[in-house]
Amino acid sequence: MKFLSKDARRKLKDIELFVLDIDGTFSISGKFFEGSLKFAVNVERKSKKFVFLTNNSNKSLEEYLEEFEKNGLFLDSEQVFTAGIETAEYLYEKFGSKKIYIVGTSAIKDIFERAGHKVVEHDPEIVVVTFDKSLNYEKLAKASTFVSQGKLFVITNPDLNCPSRDGPVPDTGAIASVIVQTTGRKPDIVFGKPEPLILEMVMKKFNVQKHKTCVVGDRLYTDILLGIRAEVLTILVLTGEAKEEDVHRLGITPDIIANDIGEIADFLGDSE
């Protein structure tokens, strides 16, 4: 591992809560990286905690828990936070129950219904764009029409692509860009990473302070920028989108760079 900031090695030893990205960081296409389970074991052996915070809004909480179980990791529901769930709850808390048109899968629509909203196909009050593997022209056309009419325009996260075993695929930010180009309107609300609100909610829930929290992720402009904005320790892993040269190119510098999650696991296992 490369320690880029002052006292990063010492600070890593003192971390109590690891906030992990999933795709490209802990797993790829639903399969754990070598070292992922070792990381979970070593964190628990050190009496520390870890949670997952993902911008992926394509899956429900239950689907994530099932996916982890298939890989041999059993989690509590409180250990997984998704941008889709948090967006639905945020909109309900801020505006109450609303009629929402969603560019997304049936799973994300269920999440918004559970949060108290009414998912509609016509005359919405809010348009929400998410990562959508069932995307088609009709959805983009409807969303663009509603946004051009002045409906509140919300995206669950700004990610341009999502890593897969075959290479990057379009994510929420890329899908939303079609609507932006069509209508000339930028989103009114961009939720998920790198906005620090969601991380602050996680730290408050676990009663952990900033200097005891670490964000681990594979994207500079979401994961690492989130940690920087929230003023916590950050670790970039090189198993997903970002490469080491991107740090200098984008000017977003993590505290630590690790080749993979296994290197962090080894550090935790070796540290006293």
Q: What is the pLDDT of residues 262-272, one digit of tens each?
A: 999 999 988 65
Polymer length in residues for the chain: 272
> In CATH, what class is 2-55+193-270?
alpha beta
CA distances from 180 to 62, 101, 185 (A): 32, 16, 5
Per-residue pLDDT reduced to its tens digit, 92-131: 989 999 999 999 999 899 999 999 999 999 999 999 999 9
pLDDT tier at 201, thresholds 50, 70, 90: confident
Q: Return the pLDDT at 56.
A: 79
Average pLDDT over residues 175-180: 98
Residue 59 zone, left/alpha/beta (φ > 0; ψ -120 to 50; rest)? beta
Instruction: Tell me whether the CATH fold assigned to 2-55+193-270 matches the one assigned to 84-190.
Output: yes
b or e along 87-104 (b: 16 or more beta carbons within 10 Å of the residue's beta carbon)?
bbbbbeeeeeebebbbbb
Q: Return the pLDDT at 271.
A: 64
Rounded CA separation 267/43 (Å) = 10
Q: Please, which residues have CB within 8 angstroms of residue 20's CB and are 6 or more apart in sequence?
A: 26, 50, 51, 52, 53, 216, 217
Per-residue pLDDT reduced to its tens digit, 222-251: 999 999 999 999 999 999 989 999 999 999
Average pLDDT over residues 34-61: 91
Mean pLDDT of all residues in the chain?
93
Rounded to 10 degrees, the C-alpha dihedral 23/27/65/52 comes to -60
Rounded CA separation 68/61 (Å) = 11
97 or 57, higher pLDDT? 97
Bridge partners, residue 20, by sequence: 52, 216
Per-residue pLDDT reduced to its tens digit, 204-225: 889 999 999 999 999 999 999 9
Average pLDDT over residues 136-143: 98
Percent of the chain with pLDDT over 70: 99
Q: How many CA atoms, within 13 angstroms, populate the side-chain half-sphere of residue 262? A: 7
Q: Please, which residues have CB within 8 angstroms of residue 157's CB and are 6 or more apart in sequence?
A: 55, 56, 57, 83, 131, 171, 172, 173, 190, 191, 192, 193, 222
| The residue to which tokens 């892993």 are assigned | 237
Q: Return the pLDDT at 272.
A: 54
Percent of the chain with pLDDT over 90: 79
Rounded CA separation 211/258 (Å) = 20
Looking at CATH, the fold of the domain delimited by 84-190 is given as Rossmann fold (3.40.50)
Query: Helices H, strands E: what count in the chain?
Result: 11, 16
Q: Is the per-residue pLDDT at 164 higher than 90?
A: no
The ranges assigned to domains in the chain are 2-55+193-270, 84-190
Q: Is the per-residue pLDDT at 193 higher than 60?
A: yes
